[in-house]
Each structure stands twice: as C-alpha cells, then as structure tokens.
Structure 1
Amino acid sequence: MKYLPKINQLKVFQAVIRHGSIRAAARILNQSQPALTRSIKELENSLGTALIIRGVRGIQLTEAGRLFSIRMEIILSELQKATEELQHVNEQAEGHLRIGCSSLILLTIYPKMLADFKKYQAKAALFLKEGQLSSLMPELRENRLDFAIGSVSENIPLHEFIEEPLFEASFTILCRKGHHLENSTELEQLVNANWMIPATDMGYYQQLQNLLGGMYGRLASAPLFTDSVVCGLNLVLKSDYLIIIAKSMSKPFFLEQYFSEIKLKSVLPKATYSLIYPRNIPLTLTANRMIKILRWHCQNTDWSALY
C-alpha cells in the first residue's frame, strides 16, 4: 500500500455504509454523488481492493470491505476520543461516554453515580445501553461502548478485555402476592408453574441453567424466554408467572407491595458483577472518571440493605 487512507475518505466510506447508498450519503454530507464515488474509488485504489458493490437497492460490502469497516470504526472513534481529550486538558471538554450495563445497576446505584459524575462534567453526553453482558460484548469489541458492567461466567470469552470484579448480588424467585405457590420451599413444587426465563445463556444465567437445567425439561408449560425485566414483572403480576430476579431490585420497583419471595430451602447462587473494558484500547479521561465513581459506589453500597 503506497499511501495511507485519508480521514475524509474514511468518513465518506463510513457514511455510505451507515446510510446504505452513495446517494443517501451524499445528501447527508451535502456533497455530490460523483465526489463521493471518486473518494470511494481513491480509497479502494490506496488499499488495493474493492470495498463495495453497487446495486439497484444500494451498496453491499465485499468481504474486504466488511473487515476494513470494523477497523475503520475503531480508528475514527479513537481519533474522536483523542480530540476530546486534548480539549479536556483545558477543562473545556464536554466529552462523550458510552456505557453498557444490566438493569440491576440502573435500578440501584446508577442515579447516584450520575449525580456525582455531573458535578464534574455537567455537559458530558452520556449514551446508556441496557442489556445482558452477552449482548453488550459485540459493541465492546467494535469500540461502540467505553465499558460495560454485567455478570460473568466461564463461557464469556474475555481474553481481549480487562475484568474487574465489583460486587456480588443475591437472587430470588418472585411471584405475585396470593399466588398458590408462594409458600413453596422446594424447586420440585414449582414444576407446574409458568416461568419467565432469561433469554441469555451467559453470565449468571449460565449458573442458573446449571442449577435448574434438570427442572426446565420437566416443566408442565414451556417457559417464556426474555431479558425484559418490565415484561417479566408484568407477567408475574397479571399472569401468575414466576421470575428469578436480583433481590436488590425489589425496592426501586416497590415490589414488596405486590410480590412475594418464594423462599426455597436451597439458596440460589450469587452473581458476580464485573467491570469490563478493552485491554488494548486506552480509556478516555471521561470514562476513567465515571469508573472511579462506579468503584466508590460499589464498595460503599450495602447491597443486602437494598432488599
């Protein structure tokens, strides 16, 4: 490769991918289609390979284009972060922060974390994605998240990331008050119940599958699989479903008014929640600031007092 690609060529390529065609990208970038076509052709010439195939329905990436686009997104993202950090040196940066975390964090310590963070960077733009760690990992790999918080297990590959354990959380089985099974003490008594089961098979829920796997196959009614806590709680309240949920999520939702904990003789395993961030990509100053706040709240929160 004789010359490295130019930044404006990368941005044009990025816009074409995001908007699906050269025509749409030209409209968004306020440039002519021939100018964008020329820029893409120059990029392909510098790389020595075709990146896109044009068709009547827009563009398709070649295999080389797909591979290059992944690296390109990281390059442009890192360049944006570097620019923000230079501005931050003068204490004028607004900054951007992209976090992925489970509903447990959002319903417990996140409001206090956010208030503390805003004391230092009131103008920082925060992007928050809720989800299980299994759904957040692809975005971490593509540098679309600065860091993530979730429950880990042996089947989540973390060799390219740094994992920092933060806290342990206890889980329980909930039903609506007055449910005919609310006084059950053995898993065997719950075989004929309707269950809402997490859709993911990673993190803490892998431990649950190991514990309850034998029971799943003997359920009288096929369980509903979903990662939506709101959907699950609504089904528990209105359709007699059972749900497994972190105990510390009960107070934020005021669940104790409407739900009962099924107290089994065998205790459900605890979940370890960890901070996950890329090993080879440096964290921004903004991300480091939020992580320091996150650590403080995790260390100074009495998780047992939340339930």
Structure 2
Amino acid sequence: MTMKLTHIRDVLAVAECGSMRAAARSLGVAQPALTRSIQEIERELGAALFERHARGVQTTEAGHAFLRRAQSVQSELRRAKEEIEQIQGGVAGQVAMAVSTASTIAMMPAALAAFRRRYPQAVLKVTESLFAGIETQLAEGNIDFYVGPFDASLSSSSFHCEKLFAYRRLILARTDHPLAQATCLPDLRDAHWVRPLTLLPNRSEIDFDELFERETGSAPNIVMYAHSALMTLLTVANSDLLTILPQQWLEVPLTSERLVSIDATRDVPILSMCIVRRHAMPLTPMAESLCDEMRRAGTHYAHRIERV
C-alpha cells in the first residue's frame, strides 16, 4: 500500500479531535472508513500511532513523531496550493509570521499598511514571541518567518538569517524614580528588577546579567517575572522596580510619557534585528511580499535611528 494524502489528513484529524468519532464527524466521513484509514497507515508504518481508550485515543511515541512530519507536509501542501494560485493572479491566502515586541513597534505599522494595500484579502497569523519560543514551529513550517533579535550561534544551521539593523537596550524607570539620575551599573546595585518572562533564557538576558555582576559584584535582584512586556512596563511605571528593554519601547507615546531611560547601559551588548527563515524553502509570493515589506520598513527605521 502507498501512503496517501488522505491518510495524513485522517491522522491529523484524529490527533486533533482526540477520538475516531469526533474526527469522522469533523471530516464528514463515516467512522468505519476513518478507522480503516488509520489501520492502513499503521500497517504501512509497522507501528501503532494511537492507543485506544474508552474515552477516545491518545498519540503514541511513534504517533508523535509521525505527527510532526505530517504537520510539515500539510503546511507545505498548503503553501504549494497557495503559491500556484498566487502565481496565477490570486490575492487570497495566509501568512504566518512571528515577531518580537521591538520589531512590532519599529516595523509592523508601515509594513502591514503596505502589505494590506497589495493583498487586502490575505489572512495574517501573527505570533508575538522571541525566537526560542517559535523555533520548532519555524523549523516545521508552521510559521513562515520570524523578525526579531537572533543569535545564530544558538540555533541550528537550518535557518537563514538576514540582519536588518542594530539596536540598544535601555534600563527603564518611572519618571520620578530616585535612581533616574544614575550613570553607571554600580549605582543600581541595590535596585529591584522586573523581567519579561520568556520560554528560555536568551542571550541578551545572560549578557546583561553577566555584565551587571561583573560591574556590581552581584546579579540583578529580580523580584518579579511578567508574562508580557506590557505588564512589565505597567509595573515599572507604577513602582520602584527597574527593567531593561529594547529602545523601541520609548517610542510608544504612552510609554515615553511615563518612563525614563537611566544612562547606565553604555557597555550593554548591542542586539541585531533580523529576519529568520528556513534554508532552501521558498516562501509563497504573498509571504515573500510581507517579508519584503518588513525588510523595507527595517531599512527606513535604521536610517531614522541613525539620524537621532
């Protein structure tokens, strides 16, 4: 027996729905036909993909492995279909993009406006995240490309990185903070900090912590982790806590009115804003267009901050 696309479709549906009955209903097929399809692919693979229980099914270890590949196949088939349609003049389709908060502030407004003018019927799926949070999704093709800080030494060689511009991180405090006039990290030795919570420690956090400890003799005293940059900023604006965030945050009107930058980050390593995509895997024309608009917006932003 040769594996068919319907087998992949059926396995994905069963995994998503959690039972044969629910998957059959979702696909609009008879349950016995779906059960036969799953049995066929399991015989082909020589392994059980699901464990059957009274309340449904659960994916086996082999099933998990197959699902990762199947999801990639499904993503590429969707892209292939959309690419053909777009080559033939179609203006519909979807793009999945991941962006950091800093890249959202710096580039998204201009890039999105230009993209929407060209593809008004496009559906965008935007995930706000640093690279560590979406690396697997990008590798598997569930996300088309990522825009944000990126350290190539910490990822596999399966990604292509294009640098857009360099930017600084700033130590932020409320406008009337007693340490607002500090000029070096030792002045902040006794400060308390809030940090946005990411899935994994990233290089920029590690670099700052190492620099802070080298300059002050102790690590920054982090007393709060926040699940978003917005939560971090609201906390800083209404407390004595400090934080360190990309310079773009002081370009948001609400933020710039409530916060000030403490001039103590001269030795904090510079970050690179990058576009990251999979090697040797072309984007659809629509995704390529959005990538181009982000690149163009990044170039304009780089010129603007160079003049400041």
Q: Give the equivalent residue in structure 2 for 1:33.
A: 31
State the one-letter code of the partner of 1:223. V
Range 260-269 or range 160-169, more displaced: 260-269
Gaps of 5+ in 1: none
Q: CA 1:212–1:77 in structure 2 vs 1: closer, same or farther (change >3 Å)?
A: same
How many angstroms does 1:125 deviate by?
A: 0.7
Rounded Cα–Cα distance in structure 1 between residues aligned with 2:192 and 2:87: 56
SS at match of 1:83: helix
Q: Give the equivalent residue in structure 2 for 1:67.
A: 65
**How many correspondences in the alignment?**
305
Q: Give the equivalent residue in structure 1 for 2:51.
A: 53
How many angstroms does 1:101 deviate by?
A: 0.8
Gaps of 5+ in 2: none
How many angstroms does 1:5 deviate by?
A: 1.3
How many angstroms does 1:219 deviate by?
A: 5.8
Q: CA 1:201–1:213 in structure 2 vs 1: closer, same or farther (change >3 Å)?
A: farther
State the one-letter code of the partner of 1:178. D
Q: CA 1:219–1:12 in structure 2 vs 1: closer, same or farther (change >3 Å)?
A: same
Asked if 2 retains the 8 angstrom alpha-carbon contact of 1:185 and 1:264, the reply is yes
SS at match of 1:107: helix
Q: Give the equivalent residue in structure 2 for 1:123.
A: 121
Q: 2:180 aligns with which of 182, 194, 198?
A: 182
State the one-letter code of the partner of 1:73. Q
Does 2:138 align with 1:137? no
Asked if 2 retains the 8 angstrom alpha-carbon contact of 1:192 and 1:219, the reply is no
SS at match of 1:49: coil
Q: CA 1:261–1:222 in structure 2 vs 1: closer, same or farther (change >3 Å)?
A: closer
How many angstroms does 1:195 deviate by?
A: 0.3
Rounded Cα–Cα distance in structure 2 between residues aligned with 1:306 and 1:271: 19
1:142-181 alignment runs, 5 A limit:
142-153=140-151, 155-181=153-179
Asked if 1 retains the 8 angstrom alpha-carbon contact of 2:148 and 2:275, the reply is yes
Asked if 2 retains the 8 angstrom alpha-carbon contact of 1:169 and 1:303, the reply is no
Rounded Cα–Cα distance in structure 1 between residues aligned with 2:217 and 2:137: 33
SS at match of 1:250: helix
Rounded Cα–Cα distance in structure 2 between residues aligned with 1:230 and 1:293: 26
Asked if 1 retains the 8 angstrom alpha-carbon contact of 2:196 and 2:229, the reply is no
1:1-307 alignment runs, 5 A limit:
3-153=1-151, 155-199=153-197, 200-214=200-214, 218=218, 221-226=221-226, 228-264=228-264, 266-301=266-301, 302-304=303-305
Range 262-271 or range 182-191, more displaced: 262-271
How many angstroms does 1:97 deviate by?
A: 0.3
Q: CA 1:24–1:216 in structure 2 vs 1: closer, same or farther (change >3 Å)?
A: farther
SS at match of 1:197: strand
How many angstroms does 1:174 deviate by?
A: 0.7
State the one-letter code of the partner of 2:165. F
Q: CA 1:164–1:306 in structure 2 vs 1: closer, same or farther (change >3 Å)?
A: same
Rounded Cα–Cα distance in structure 1 between residues aligned with 2:159 and 2:265: 37
Rounded Cα–Cα distance in structure 2 between residues aligned with 1:186 and 1:255: 23
Q: CA 1:20–1:216 in structure 2 vs 1: closer, same or farther (change >3 Å)?
A: farther
Q: CA 1:119–1:203 in structure 2 vs 1: closer, same or farther (change >3 Å)?
A: farther
Rounded Cα–Cα distance in structure 2 between residues aligned with 1:10 and 1:104: 38
Range 208-217 or range 255-264, more displaced: 208-217
Q: CA 1:163–1:227 in structure 2 vs 1: closer, same or farther (change >3 Å)?
A: farther
SS at match of 1:272: strand
How many angstroms does 1:141 deviate by?
A: 1.5
Asked if 1 retains the 8 angstrom alpha-carbon contact of 2:212 and 2:218, the reply is no
State the one-letter code of the partner of 2:143. L
Identity of aligned residues (%): 28
How many angstroms does 1:87 deviate by?
A: 1.0
How many angstroms does 1:59 deviate by?
A: 1.8
Asked if 1 retains the 8 angstrom alpha-carbon contact of 2:186 and 2:216, the reply is no
Asked if 2 retains the 8 angstrom alpha-carbon contact of 1:248 and 1:303, the reply is no
